[in-house]
């Protein structure tokens, strides 16, 4: 068995987390290498494992990404996470609405393709503001990551630049969510390996607030309401897929009712190894390794 860690061409061998995981596997006397997904698709065999890590930018060519992943599936390669989880997690609107029985941020689809004017786009967004009873929305593509084409729309402000950008990219499927001002306090992300919550991270992505270094949270400092939501998500996965993802990051924001799920990341979740204790890195890699070798 060979273990490949998939990265984008720009970041092969440059990301701390990728290097740490590769070296940890090598210390277990396993073959492990970091390479692009395209290269891995060509050289991997059915007995191999592919861990999707720093494949940043896949959303820009997601159809090609799906083709490469499908090629791995056809070859019988073990993928982390499993193929069904990857395909399910591609489209934010679809998966967030499938789990909206949990405490998930309300999410609407903005179908802008076919609209001929910026005025029509304004009307669609205004209607969404009314639907959510919200003055401010966050708008982004349904298939995206890392703040790509992410906009803050306040109905009381001049939104000319936002609407113009949406108009120029109206061939994409966008989603809209009510803006939560508590995001300035930071989001809380939790890392789950094979259904077990290991630790949390308080993070400040810096898209519409100040960007600050993430802060490690041990399990005792992760709010109980968040832990309860992860149990509900675990039960959903077991019912929906009859198995659990090897690796999962869930992002939360505080609201009056507790915490809302902002995103579930199953494709290339950042584990924030740069900010967590050494013993937790070791625990995470060991648990991840056991999750795909015990299948």
Q: What confidence tens digit (pLDDT) does each residue in 170-213 have?
A: 999 999 999 999 999 999 999 999 999 999 999 998 777 778 89
The number of distinct structural domains making up the chain is 3
Task: With a cut of 70, say whether residue 85 has pLDDT above it.
Answer: yes
Tell me how far CA of residue 179 lies from CA of 130, 182, 241, 257, in angstroms. Answer: 13, 9, 31, 15
Whether 293 is covered by a domain: the verdict is no
Mean pLDDT of the chain: 96
Q: Any idea what the CATH number is for the domain that residue 121 is in?
A: 3.30.1490
Strand 196-204 and strand 212-217: the pairing is: antiparallel
Whether 175 is in a domain gets the answer yes
Tokens of 7: 């990265």
Task: Identify whether residues 98 and 192 lie together within a single domain.
Answer: yes
Which structural domain, as residue segments, surrounds residue 251? 92-103+182-274
Residues 228 and 96 both lie in one domain: yes
| CATH number of the domain that residue 22 is part of | 3.40.50.1390
Q: What is the pTM of this model?
A: 0.95
| Tokens found for residue 40 | 């891995």
Asked whether residue 192 falls in the same domain as residue 170, the answer is no
231 shares its domain with 255: yes
Q: Does some domain include residue 33?
A: yes
Is 287 inside any structural domain? Answer: no
Read off φ and ψ for residue 244, nearest 5 degrees. Answer: -115, 150
User: Per-residue DSSP letters for 155-173?
Assistant: TTS--HHHHHHHHHTTTS-
Q: Please say whether the beta carbons of 13 and 19 come within 8 A.
A: yes
| Together in a domain, 69 and 208 | no
Torsion of CA 247, 194, 65, 97, to 10 degrees: -90
- C-alpha 52 chain-centroid distance: 12
- Residue-wise pLDDT for 104-119, tens only, equals 999 999 989 999 999 9
- What value does the mean pLDDT take over residues 28-32? 95
């Amino acid at each position: 068995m060979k273990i490949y860690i998939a990265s984008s061409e720009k970041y092969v061998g440059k990301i701390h987390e990728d290097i740490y995981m590769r070296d940890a596997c090598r210390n277990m006397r396993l073959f492990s290498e970091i390479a692009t997904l395209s290269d891995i698709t060509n050289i991997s065999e059915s007995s191999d494992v592919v861990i999707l890590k720093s494949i940043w930018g896949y959303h820009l060519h997601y159809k090609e990404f799906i083709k490469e992943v499908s090629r791995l599936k056809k070859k019988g390669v073990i993928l982390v996470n499993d193929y069904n989880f990857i395909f399910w997690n591609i489209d934010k609107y679809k998966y967030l609405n499938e789990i909206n029985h949990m405490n998930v941020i309300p999410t609407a689809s903005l179908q802008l393709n076919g609209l001929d004017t910026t005025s029509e786009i304004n009307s669609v967004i205004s209607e969404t503001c009314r639907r959510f009873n919200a003055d401010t929305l966050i708008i982004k593509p349904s298939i995206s990551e890392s703040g790509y084409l992410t906009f803050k729309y306040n109905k009381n402000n001049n939104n000319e630049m936002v609407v113009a950008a949406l108009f120029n990219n109206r061939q994409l499927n966008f989603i809209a969510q009510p803006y939560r001002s508590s995001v300035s306090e930071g989001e809380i992300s939790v890392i789950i390996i094979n259904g077990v919550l290991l630790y949390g991270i308080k993070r400040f992505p810096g898209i519409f607030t100040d960007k600050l270094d993430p802060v490690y949270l041990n399990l005792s400092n992760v709010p109980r309401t968040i832990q309860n939501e992860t149990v509900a998500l675990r039960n959903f996965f077991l019912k929906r897929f009859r198995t659990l993802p090897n690796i999962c990051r869930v992002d939360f924001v505080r609201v009056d009712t507790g915490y809302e799920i902002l995103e579930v990341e199953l494709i290339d979740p950042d584990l924030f190894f740069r900010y967590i204790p050494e013993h937790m890195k070791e625990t995470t890699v060991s648990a991840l390794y056991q999750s795909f070798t015990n299948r």
